Amino acid sequence: METIISTNIEDAADWLRKDEVIGMPTETVYGLAGNALHEDAVLKIYLAKGRPRFNPLIVHVPDMVQAEKFITRFPEPLRHLAEKCWPGSLTILLPKNNRIPDLVTAGNSKVGLRVPSHPVTLQLLHMLSFPLAAPSANPFGYVSPTTAQHVMKGLGGKIPFVLDGGPCAVGLESTIVDFDKEHQRVLIRRVGGIGQQQIEQILGQKVKLELDSSRHPVAPGQLKSHYATRLPLYIGELSELNLAHRAVRRLLLGWGSIEEILMEAAVDDAGIAAEAWSLSESKNLNEVAKNLFSFMRKADESGFDVILAPRFPDQDIGKAINDRLAKASHQNKAWLP
């Protein structure tokens, strides 16, 4: 199948109305979108992505009013979060009604809903009379795409169309929140674009991080190995990692100037040369997040033997950065199917 990359939103809408699946920009990562209300379209998503059917899909809606049409309840704290964070990088798990096919939620009684903030995505959603199911538009297990070209690389030939909305501004997937009815509290199921502190500030109370990495995860994005580069990636103290891998060609990821990264890693001229790439010269965590996946992809194509990365400060989006690095790390690859 020929895959077209285009900025034409009308064409994107036409493909979707014909129950085809397309690459679609959002502010977090690109999604692989199809009509969430038609099982035919949803099935095509699972097939194109090579995703196991037990892993549910997020449903994208244009606004709060549309969200209400697919659920039976909107617990108050979650409604409050939606009012403050939508449109934005927050996915909310809510009890679904029967308009949402079980195939979308993989049998879960809750559906993950999100109003994305990318203007192109919003415009597309407003043009359609149905919501869009969309996982990240990468083949199962690989790094999520943050440009239309990334989508082409992974899924070109398998889908007819990629809507190009430029590089994603956030660069990491949305934060997923859930509500524990029994204890009447909000849970974070996946760390992402919106930080825990921000959520707690909005709610005026602490929330529980319940990142489920068990065999039957509530949100399988929590499977330990995910977002993996093909090259082995190690995360930890750069100087220790550099020493341990000095016999091979290393790519050091970090932030600040290249000199700073090389210094932190204690790279000297002996041994095989190492190269450093800065995810943010100005040490801005949001910029690190925005660049992370495209740097991981570039690294995979650049002829190194290993990727070495530090742990970033565990605050705000830094938590999500560390989470994605840990999931991509070599130590976790044994978890891949």
Q: Give residue for tokens 């064409």.
A: 11
Torsions phi, psi of 189, nearest 5? -95, -25
Binding mask 176-195 for ligand TXA (x = CB under 6 A): x-------------------
Nearest distance from residue 144's CB to Mg ion, in Å?
A: 5
Residue 325 burial (CB count, 10 A)? 22
Q: Is 28 in the site for ligand TXA (CB under 6 A)?
A: yes
Shortest approach of Mg ion to residue 190 CB, angstroms? 10
Closest CA to 60 of 83, 81, 32: 32
Which residue, 289 or 308, has its beta carbon nearer to ligand TXA?
A: 289
Give Cα separations from 312 to 24, 90, 272, 286, 323 (angstroms).
29, 22, 26, 11, 10
Q: Which helix (H) or strand (E) holds 278?
A: strand 274-278
Rounded Cα distance, 318 and 86, in Å: 21
Site string for ligand TXA, 36-75 (x = CB under 6 A): -------------------xxxx-----------------
Please give the single-letter amino acid code of residue 172: L
**Is 28 near Mg ion (CB under 5 A)?**
no
Per-residue x/- marks for ligand TXA, 75-114, CB under 6 A? ----------------x-x-----------x--x-xxx-x
One residue of 89, 91, 136, 280 binding Mg ion per CB under 5 A: 136
264 binds ligand TXA (CB under 6 A): no
Contact flag: residue 31 with ligand TXA (CB under 6 A)? yes
Asked if 288 and 321 count as a contact pair (C-beta separation under 8 A), the reply is yes
Nearer to ligand TXA, 125 or 306 (CB): 125
Q: Which does 198 bind (CB under 5 to 8 A by kind): ligand TXA, Mg ion, none?
A: none
- 171 CB-near residues (< 8 Å, 6+ apart): 28, 29, 146, 289, 290, 291, 292, 293, 294
Residues contacting 102, CB < 8 A, separation 6+: none
Where along the sequence are the contacts to ligand TXA (CB under 6 A)? 26, 28-29, 31, 55-58, 91, 93, 105, 108, 110-112, 114, 134-136, 173-174, 176, 218-221
